Amino acid sequence: MNQQRKHWIEQFAKAGYVAKGMVYVLVGVLTAMAAFGQGGKKASNTDALLQVKSLPGGGFLLGILAAGLLGYCVWRMIQAIKDTEDKGSNPKGIASRIGYAISSILYGSLAFLAFQILSGKGSGSGSSSKEKDMLSELLDKPFGKYLAIIIGLIVIGRGLNQIYKGITASFMKDVTGLPRDRFDVLKKAGQAGFSARGIVFSIIGFLFVRAAWLQQPQEAGGTTSAFSFLQTSPFGNILLGIVALGLIGYGIFMFVQARYSDISID
């Protein structure tokens, strides 16, 4: 691969981390405001994109954000295909690379939605029902219930892995050259962020498994459903606020990755 192409791919990756960080910060801010009674709403990624569109100059900002998300999509797929992190071809490595490919598809669809909102063809309506629609389709198939439960358990596993990263701070190996005077603060932001993200994933997975077991697709849900689950728990608003602030921390750490992560392509 020539140097110019490498340079552009690296820029795609950095722009992607920034765009992903912006989405998480917006989701966290809107949800924290709702939790602490300061307006806002329990927000999804779609809500974050709509919020950007509503800002002064929002169309221009949303266009930049959409391009960044597309860049992240490209980078994740390159990670999956080119094995830029040397995950290898053993079962664990293949699983990691499949995870990168799935992430690429998810953020590619988010970029597509951003472009739709930008063009006025998408309002984000019905986006929260994608988990319900997916489960409905699965339950209509032979052994679909059990396949759905497996999918939900995989999501829970991913969530637990994120929590493990948050507790152990193993994500710090992905960044180099952090200023010493900011190292501890940025590390704590990352720990809060990965832990919060893991909690959200785990709840989404739990809701999916429960809905599949009960064969009630309407009980499945995404990020906003996970937030509602937290809010209806004991000390719900406090828990929701803590998780929302954690997601802001995750967004901040994505900015750190854009600046300090080692993005190398052979």
Domain assignment of residue 266, yes or no: no
Q: How many helices (H) and strands (E) does the chain have?
A: 9, 0
Please calculate the CA angle 176-180-181 and round it to the nearest 5 degrees. 135
Q: How far apart are CA 178 and CA 89, in angstroms?
A: 31
Does residue 121 lie within any of the structural domains? yes
Structural domain contains residue 265: no
Query: Across residues 33-53, what is the average pLDDT?
Result: 86
The pTM assigned to this predicted structure is 0.86
The answer to whether residue 193 sits within a structural domain is: yes
Terminal alpha carbon distance of the chain? 7
Q: What percent of the chain has pLDDT over 70?
A: 94
pLDDT at residue 266 is higher than 70:
no
Tell me the C-alpha distance between 58 and 67, whole Å.
14
Query: In which band, very low, low, confident or very high, does the pLDDT at 188 lie, cut at 50, 70 and 90?
Result: very high
Tell whether 24 is covered by a domain.
yes
In a domain, 247, yes or no: yes
- How many independent structural domains does the chain possess? 1
Secondary-structure breakdown of the chain: helix, strand, coil percentages, each rounded to the nearest 5: 80, 0, 20
Interval 102-160: pLDDT, tens: 889 988 988 998 998 888 876 554 445 678 888 999 998 889 999 999 999 999 999 99
Residue 120 φ/ψ region, left for φ over 0, alpha for ψ in the -120 to 50 degree band, beta for the rest: left
In a domain, 239, yes or no: yes
Range of the domain at 107: 3-260
